[in-house]
Every structure is written in structure tokens, then in C-alpha cells.
Structure 1
Amino acid sequence: MNPLRGVLLKLGSVFLFTVMAAILKATAVSVPAGEQVFFRSLFAIPVILAWLALRGEMATGLRTRDPMSHAYRGIVGSIAMGTGFAGLGLLPFPEATALGYAMPLLTVIFAAMFLGETVRAFRLGMVGLGLAGVLIVLSPRLSAAADGVSLAETLGAVLTLIGAAFGALAQIFISRMVRTESTTAVVFWFSVTATVLSLVTLPFGWVLPDARTAALLVGCGVLGGAAQIMLTASYRFADASLVAPFDYASMLMALAIGWFVFDEGASPRMLAGAVVIIAAGVAIILRERSLGISRARRAGTPR
């Protein structure tokens, strides 16, 4: 264990994922979401393969015992990616980032519904608080007739939340799959599946990007693959409960990118909602960490 290395790897992955999202937003003007999914998935594959080759795990890292589980996870994850990318192109960057934080909250609900996990009062209360924060962020979009709110932005908010919901469902699939499948197999076969599924959208407006846009899209895939590897590695060096809260550093990064790159400000209401969502998420993580430490102590106590 090397907690500092784990935290640095997690922050690195968050930074790369945020830059990747900024590229997707920048190219959304001319490239449809389905085509973005194709580039994001296809060009992540060489990065993952190179990583496996360097670790000498090419043979074992791609082995699967349950191919159909990868297919189902790929379908759900591809929908999450496509709707999330579409929403990103329609919303201000910081707002899309804040709404994306609904995914871990919805994962808690889905885990109780589909996995039979026990959700106690504290965690349920924090999920409720987090969803209230989502409503605060979303409230200006609830009425398309509100001053300064366009139908496109309202659609963007809806698509982002749909993406968060399908992303949470994908997490449920993953939580089942990791019992028999390696993490690298899950990541690799998802990239393959998403690449193939994205081709379904080919008749719906794909374009031939210019050289600059194509380079950005290829870079998007490479960054996504590298970020996924760093994310996976971070959990090898530090406890999940330690590195998980650093996901929310993406809010600060999104605010900076939104301001300096896209000339987008953040309203006080959006910031207030983001703070509520982040506070609820961090509270759940810290609570789970505390319970885990207590369980470990009880397990180590001689009887």
C-alpha cells in the first residue's frame, strides 16, 4: 500500500477524464454523440493493450468466464456514454459535471433494488440530500419557459441524468462481474463492445471530421484509456474509501475549464446544488470507511 501514490493516481485520472470531457464538449458542435463514443472507445483499446503487455498480463487480463455479462454491461454502458456525451454538448460544462454526480447516488438505490444490499437510514438520508442537490442544480431547467433557458439546455439536463442513471446500472453489472472477471477484462471488453455498438448510430448523421477534430477525438480515446488505467491502479495502492472522495475534484477542474475555455460561468444556485451533492457523497464515503474500520476491528478482536 502507498496511499500518497494512490491519491496522486486518482487525481491524475480525474484530471484526464475532465480534459477528455472538455474535448467531447468542444467537438460536439460538429460531431454527433454516437461518433464520439466510437472514437472514445476504439482508441482506448491500444492503450489498454499496451498496459497489459507491459505488465505481462496479455493472456490472463483479457480472459473471461461470462461473455454475456460483458455484452449486457456494454449495452448499458454505451447508452450511458452516448446520452452523457449528448448532454455534455448542450449544457454548460460545470453544470453537466455537477449533474453527473447523481450517478453514485443512484448506484446506492439500484444496489438496494437489484442486489439486495441493505441501505440504512444514514445512507438513505444522504442519498435523499444528494438528490435534493441535483434538483437545485436542475431547477432552472425544469421549465423551458424560464428566462434564459433554452429547450436545448433542458434536453441536455435530461440526457445527462439519463446517462447518470444508466451509468449507475452499469456499476451494478460491474459489481456482479468482478466476482468472476478481472478488472482489465471488464475495461477492455467494454471498450470493444462500445466500439461495435456505436456503429449502430452510423446512419444517423456521422460526419468526416477535419484533421484537427479527428486528432482531438483520437486524443479523447487515448486520454480515456490512460485515465481508466490510472483509476484502476489507484485502488491498488490505497483503500477505495480514501481515494473515492477525490472524484469531486473534477468540479473545481470543470469550473476552471468552463471559465477559461468555454467562457461559461456558474450560477450561485448551480454551485449551491453542487456543494450539497458533493457533501452527501463524501458523507456516504466517510460513513462507509468508518463502518469498515469498525468491522475490521471486531473481526480482529480475540473471542
Structure 2
Amino acid sequence: MQALWMLLASLFFASMGVCIKFAAAHFNSFETVFYRGLVGMAFLWGLTRWQGVSLATRVPMMHAWRSLVGTISLTAWFYAIALLPLATAMTLNYMSSVWIATFLLGGAVLTQARGSPVREQAPLFFTVIAGFVGVGLMLRPSFHHDQAFAGLVGLLSGVFAALAYLQVAALSKVGEPESRTVFYFSLGSALAGLLGMMFVGATPWHWPGALWLLPIGLLAVFGQLCLTRAYAQGATMVVANLQYSGIVFAALFGITVFGDRLPLIGWLGMALIVVSGIAATVLRSRTVPPVPAEEP
């Protein structure tokens, strides 16, 4: 049953990507981030009241840092989704597992003098190399010149998603409820989106284009709730790795809805990233305790 909840979460997040791509024709990335945060915040406020969970926290700065890195990742991801094939943008964001492996490998190098020989991290090293080879294979053939910057932004979304994951793990360790953590992330993203709109401007609402804004927030919340349920009885490697089914859903949506086409070498690169991400998930489980993944 846990596996089914993870598959549903991945389907919700991929469906959210479809809505973001449609909304991008009418609204900029800051606007979609703002409305995603606003809808999520309203829903989670009601959920925390229903659960009897207080929004008061003993660690406001930890939530602030999680909201900052999470919002940067979210904004970069939304920007990439608007300009890249859906599966490409999704895969770049799912590089977060490989980035975490990179951070762990860097930590091993820095602490080798304290009894953590680098040679013991050889599997992690090859996992990281494989992940970045996959990025090169996927991006080089599938990008037009005007998509290069969007590709870099998409890659950046994976870096900050990794930082957000580590902060979620830290919040879990100090006993912060999932609903409270996601509420403050939604609040932070709404504020950041509003700040961005002050600089780049806001688009007047036009129907039916504005209708895409509501499902973005709702699908994000539903996906997060399914993730929480998937991990409710303890994380397993099968459940953790099923998150990569989101790339499969995104690829199917990209082909059937948007007519996206990737050459064979691009698909090979995507497969290599998925395999390296799964390997990184398995290897990092020995160092970082598994917690519910976040979107992004």
C-alpha cells in the first residue's frame, strides 16, 4: 500500500507540472510560485487545525532556511518547466539525490583525516560521476540554443532541492510535524512569489487561463499528503525509489499532451540519471535517515 501512495504522489507532481506548463503561457514563474504557495497555505492551515497541530514552532530559523532554499528550488523548477520538455525539467529536479551524494562525498573528503577514508566512498563517487554523465547526455542533444539558460536553472533547482531535503531531515529530527513544515514552506513561497511580482510585475487575470492556478496548489498539497502517507509506516528502499516514477509520468504527459520529442541519447541520459539517483538513495540511506521527500 505504501508503494501505491508513492505512485499517486508522483502522478500528482507530474500532473502539477502539466498545469504549470499551461499556466506559463499566461503567468510568469513568480506568479505561479505565489499562487501555489497561497493555495497550499490555505489548505494546510485548515489541515493543521483539523489535526490539532499548532503552528507555533521552537525553531523558526530552521523553517526560514528550509523555506528559502525550497522556494529557490521551486522557482527555478517552475521556470525550467515553462521552457523545457516536461520530462527534462522533471529529471533535472530529481538530480537532488545525486547532489546529496555529492555533498556526502565532499564531507568524506574533508573528514578523511578523522577515520573516514575516501576509498570507502568509491561507490558514491561513481554514482555521482554517472549522474553527471547522464546530465550531459540528456541536455546536449535535446537543447536548443535558447534553452541553455533554462537547462542551467533546472540543474540549479536540483541543487537547492537537495539542500531542502537535508533541512527537512533536520526538522524531522527535532520533532517538527510534517504539516507544520509544509505550511511554513507554503508561506515562504507565497511571500517570495509576491516579492518577485513586485519587481517583474503581475499579469491581469484572464479566463480560462487563470483556472490553471488552483490545481497547481491543490496537486502540490495532494502530492505532499500522499508522500507523507507513503512514509507513515517507515521508509523502504522500494518506496523511496518509486519517486522516480514521476519522471515516467512526466515523459508520458510530455509526449501525449505537448508533443515533446527527445532523441535516443537523451533517453539514455535520463535513464542513467534515474539509475544513479536510485543508487544514491540506497547509499545515502546509510548516512542520512530517510524522511518524506518534499516538492521539490
CA contact (8 A) 2:79 2:150 kept: yes
CA distance in 2, matches of 1:175, 1:287: 16
CA contact (8 A) 1:87 1:156 kept: yes
Structure-2 change in CA distance of 1:79 and 1:287 (3 Å)? closer
Residue 224 (str. 1) matches residue 217 (str. 2): no
Alpha-carbon displacement from aligned partner over 1:229-279 (angstroms, at most 9, x marks no partner): 111111013524221111111122112111111111222111000111111
Query: 1:57-206 counterparts in 2 under 5 A?
Result: 57-59=52-54, 62-113=55-106, 120-140=121-141, 149-151=144-146, 153-180=147-174, 181-203=176-198, 204-206=200-202
User: TM-score, length-normalised on structure 1?
Assistant: 0.84
**Residue equivalent to 2:240:** 244
State which of 277, 280, 296 in structure 2 corresponds to 1:281: 277
Give the residue type in structure 1 aligned to 2:267: L
Query: Structure 1: where are the runs of 5+ without partners?
Result: 142-147, 293-303
Give the residue type in structure 1 aligned to 2:139: L
What percent identity do the matched residue pairs reach? 25
Give the residue type in structure 1 aligned to 2:136: L
CA distance in 1, matches of 2:169, 2:235: 17
CA distance in 2, matches of 1:83, 1:283: 25
CA distance in 2, matches of 1:107, 1:155: 23
CA distance in 1, matches of 2:263, 2:87: 10
Give the residue type in structure 2 aligned to 1:13: A
State which of 9, 12, 15 in structure 1 corresponds to 2:8: 12
CA contact (8 A) 2:105 2:121 kept: no
**Residue equivalent to 1:23:** 19
Give the residue type in structure 1 aligned to 2:208: R
CA contact (8 A) 1:48 1:226 kept: no
Q: Runs ≥4 in structure 1, deviation > 6 angstroms? A: 114-119
CA contact (8 A) 1:93 1:258 kept: yes
CA drift at 1:218: 1.2
CA distance in 2, matches of 1:44, 1:57: 18
**Residue equivalent to 1:298:** none
Give the residue type in structure 1 aligned to 2:254: G
CA drift at 1:205: 2.7
CA contact (8 A) 1:92 1:258 kept: yes
CA contact (8 A) 2:96 2:162 kept: yes
**Residue equivalent to 2:249:** 253
- Higher alpha-carbon deviation: 194-203 or 113-122: 113-122
Aligned Cα root-mean-square deviation (Å): 2.3
CA distance in 2, matches of 1:74, 1:114: 24
Give the residue type in structure 2 aligned to 1:102: M
CA distance in 1, matches of 2:186, 2:236: 23
CA drift at 1:288: 6.0
**Residue equivalent to 2:292:** none
Alpha-carbon displacement from aligned partner over 1:60-103 (angstroms, at most 9, x marks no partner): xx331110111122111111111111111111112212222211
Query: Structure 2: where are the runs of 5+ without partners?
Result: 288-296
CA contact (8 A) 1:33 1:82 kept: yes
- Higher alpha-carbon deviation: 172-181 or 22-31: 172-181
CA distance in 2, matches of 1:237, 1:14: 18
Which has the greater radius of gyration? 1
Match of 1:29, SS state, is coil
User: TM-score, length-normalised on structure 2?
Assistant: 0.86
